[in-house]
Structure formats: C-alpha cells, structure tokens
Amino acid sequence: MSLFRTKPLSTLLAQADEKGGLKRTLRWPGLVALGIGAIIGAGIFVRTAAAAGQNAGPSVTLSFIVAAIGCAFAGLCYAEFAAMIPVAGSAYTYAYVTMGELVAWVIGWALILEYALGAATLSIAWTEYFNQLFPDLIPWAWRHSPLQTGPGGVHGIVNGPAVLILLVLTLLLIKGTSESAIVNAIIVAVKVTIVIMIIALGWQFIRPENHTPFLLPADSTHEGFFKHGWGGVLGGAGVVFFAFIGFDAVSTAAQETIDPGKNMPIGIMGSLAVCTVLYILFSWVLTGVSPSADFVDPNKGMEASVAYAIKTYMTGYGWLATLVTVAILAGFSSVMLVMLLGQSRVFYSMAKDGLLPRLFSEVHPTFRTPYKCNAVLYFFVAAIGGFLPGDITGNLTSIGTLFAFVLVSLGVWILRRKSPNQARPFRTPLVPLVPILGMVVCGLMIIGLDSTTQLAALVWMAIGLAVYFLYAKGHSNLSEPELGASLPAEAGD
C-alpha cells in the first residue's frame, strides 16, 4: 500500500453533508469573531515583549509585518481549501486530498503542536496574569510548574489555575459550538476595546529614545544572527508568529459553517486583516512606552509585561493595568477556546479516517459535539499546562503552525495541477506565486527559531511517525482497496 495514497475529494464532500455529523450554525460574523478570538491573546500581550527583548527590540513592529505577510499568503491558500472542502480537519484534511496519507498524518501530528500545545501555552500565560490580579490567593507552589523555582527556593507543584480554566472551557465546548461562539463574541468585543484603549492612551507616553536604535545592535546580550539587526527582525517574526495563530483555526469549523464557500474566506482573511493592524499599532506603542531591555529583566517586565509597562511608565493610568489584566484573562480564555475547538476537530477528522481510535469521532447525541474527544484532549492539554513552563511550549507551537502553513501552500499548488476543473468558490490569486511566497516566508521563520525548538520538533515528528506505522497505517479506511484510489479529476466550473 502506498504511503502517499490520497483520499478522493468526492468522499470528503460526501462526508461534509452526512446526517448525524456536526451541526452547521456559523456565518461570517461569527467566523471573524472566532478568528479574532483565537488571534488576539498570548501573542500580543506576551510574545510581543519576548520578541522585543530577545530578538528585535523596537523593530518588533517590522517582525509583525513579516509574520503578517507570511500569514497572508498562507491565509489565501487556507481560504481556497476551506471554501472548496468544507469539512473539519483544516490542513490535515487538505493534505490528505493533495499529498497523501503519510503527509496528512505528519501535518495532523504537527497540528497538535499548534492547537493542543498552543492551548497549554495560553493557560500558562493566563495564570501569569491571574497571579498579577490575585497575588496572594493561591500559594506559589500551586500556581507554578514543578520545573520552576520561586522565592526562597520554593519549587512549584502544579499550575492549578491553568488546569481549572482548561476544564471550564472544555465543558463549554462539549455543550455546543454555537454557545461557544456567543461567549467568544462577547469576549472579543471586550478585549479589542481594551487593545484600542492601550493604543490610544499609551500613544502620549511614547518616548522617541525607546525607539532608538530601531534595529538592535550586536552585544553580549544579543549575540547570533537572529538576535540583532535584520536577522533579529526575522527571528522576532518567528517568535511573534505565535500571535497570528488562530486565523487558520477558523478553517477547522468549516463543517459547522453555513454556506462555507462564501463565509469561510471572509472569516479567515477578515480576522487576519483586523488583527494585523492592531498588532502593528500595539507593538509600536508598547516598545515606545517601555525600553525593550525591561522585557528580559526578571526583576522588571519579563512576566506580565503589558501590565508592568502601564504601571511603570503610564503615570495616572494604574487603573488601566488592572482593567487590562481582567481583559487579558478573558482574552486568553477565548483563544484557548478556539484552540481546543480546532484540535478536537482535527482529531475528529483523523478518527473518521481511521487514523485515530473511533472514540475521537463519536458525537454527543444531544449536543452534536465530539465530547469524548474533548474530554481526552483536556487531560493531555491540562497535563502540559499544569507541569511545564511557558517558554518551553511557545516556540514549539509556532514551528508546528509554520510547518502546516508550508504544506497548505504547497497543497493548493498541487491540487490546481491535479484537479484544475474542480469547483472553487474562492480562488487563491497568482498561483503558483502566492503559494511559493507563503512557503518561502514561513520556511524562513522556521529557520529563524532557536535550535532547541527545531530539535524538539524533530523528536516530536519521529514519535508521530512511530505512531503512524504502529497504529494508524493499519487502521486507515484507505486500507480497503475500493477507497484507496488516487484523487480523480473532478468536473467543475
């Protein structure tokens, strides 16, 4: 049996309309809100400062632009696929149609780094701000990883707040997608308002000297090509790329979207456009208000950096720091909600294809959600969020996402050649130029990440290949000869 056997597009489209599956309830306003809900969170409030302090300095604004360009190219490719193949699974599903089962498995395994690990990273960041708001509510050891050491040599036991917030969001997802979307829309309205307030009020506190030099010079703190100058901009792009994770999660809800051919492209590109503008303005204000060096100083703005910058440098707006902390907690919650939704839908699709145990595709008889998948996913994500620190998980999330973006861009090009007449409600412009640019920019950001992250990702992929050959390959639905045909050329527009 070929490792690159593809799943017929006709089979996928039939699955999208089967009875008893996921319920279609979303339109483009809900999808845009879903995308913004996933995008604006840990990235803007945590990764902006991390990239400024460690890689780019004030030029982190340029890092956001580089990352946004890569996302725009990939987003156009996602939009074509999501409109043409409106099923759950996102990049995994698209790879199955275009590049075959092994590549689909690899990308599905990589998406665990994006969604599950992303949710865990967010839960850790959620706890950091929770600790700022209620510094004495929970003992230090019960709100930090065992790998962290606190004042007086105290060792962490478990990140309790992270475990709890993940449980609440999992129960909400089990209840239903439409209910989750309503809660998400309310949170999005709150946190976008707060981001705009920070930009508007913080502008008057920008000090030009904090933007000079704009590109970080090489010194003992910033050694290495990706730690200063234009290399730092690229390295910073790989770090802040985490801030854009989420627009692709919109595509995982394709099977729950009404008229996906129209609503999916608007949801994906609309959410990306809104967030890009906010990111550029926000990063400019943050690095103008606070010196970038503060963001690598453990005694200053290394943790909960936005709240620190407001309290320290925005005289008279201490109240805003508290309000921001509340909004950030809500914002992180909405991002985790979408990440958990995205991961469960990828697992749902993989289980429907036989690559994962069937329990991941079992739908609740009343709520019509993959409730068993959500439950199993909770224990996996909560274990990571409860026992690992955020600096280990953040960059791994970025590399998993970037890898998915590269393969989705390649997939659009392949499918245009293999099935040129297939109906496409939305068409990526300038193919193959846009897919090639998407692969190049995202590939460069992967290279710009640190070697430890790259090595950890390779180990994760090796584990995934072992699981594929030991379980998934033998249980695949395409093991049945009549289903293992290659993608046919479809009649279409």
The whole-angstrom separation of Cα 302 and Cα 290 is 12
DSSP states of 210-233: GGSSSSPPP-SSS-SGGGSHHHHH
**b/e per residue 270-293 (b: at least 16 CB within 10 A):** bbbbbbbebbbbbbbbbbbbbbbe
CA dist list (Å): 244 to 35, 42, 145, 166, 278: 10, 10, 26, 21, 11
Average pLDDT for 311-319: 88
Q: How do residues 350-374 score in pLDDT, each as one tens digit?
A: 998 999 999 999 988 888 888 999 9
- pLDDT for res 260: 82
What's the token pair of residue 195?
């981001």
Residue 204 has pLDDT above 90, yes or no: yes
Residue showing tokens 């987003």:
75
Residue 492 has pLDDT above 50, yes or no: no
Contacts of 297 (CB under 8 A, 6+ apart): none
Domain ranges (residues) in the chain: 29-472
- The answer to which of 8-12, 108-112, 154-158 has the lowest mean pLDDT is 8-12
Q: How do residues 378-390 score in pLDDT, each as one tens digit?
A: 999 999 999 887 6
Give the residue with greater pLDDT, 172 vs 129: 172
> pLDDT band at residue 298, thresholds of 50, 70 and 90?
low
The three-class DSSP label of residue 15 is helix
- pLDDT for res 86: 78
Total-model pTM: 0.75
What's the token pair of residue 115?
């969604």
Please give the radius of gyration of the chain, using alpha carbons only, rounded to the nearest integer. Answer: 22
- pLDDT for res 150: 78
Highest mean pLDDT among 13-17, 251-255, 357-361: 357-361
Q: How do residues 469-484 score in pLDDT, each as one tens digit?
A: 999 999 998 876 544 4
- The answer to which of 44-48, 200-204, 307-311, 374-378 has the lowest mean pLDDT is 44-48
Q: Are 250 and 272 in contact (CB under 8 A)?
A: no
How many other C-beta atoms can be found within 10 angstroms of the C-beta atom of residue 187? 24
Short-list 245, 240, 272, CA closest to 79? 272
Q: Which fold, 29-472?
A: Amino acid/polyamine transporter I (1.20.1740)
Dihedral in degrees, nearest 10, Cα atoms 165, 169, 170, 171: 110
Short-list 346, 185, 354, CA closest to 255? 346
For the chain, how far is it from start to end, CA to CA, in angstroms?
33
Residue 292 has pLDDT above 80, yes or no: yes
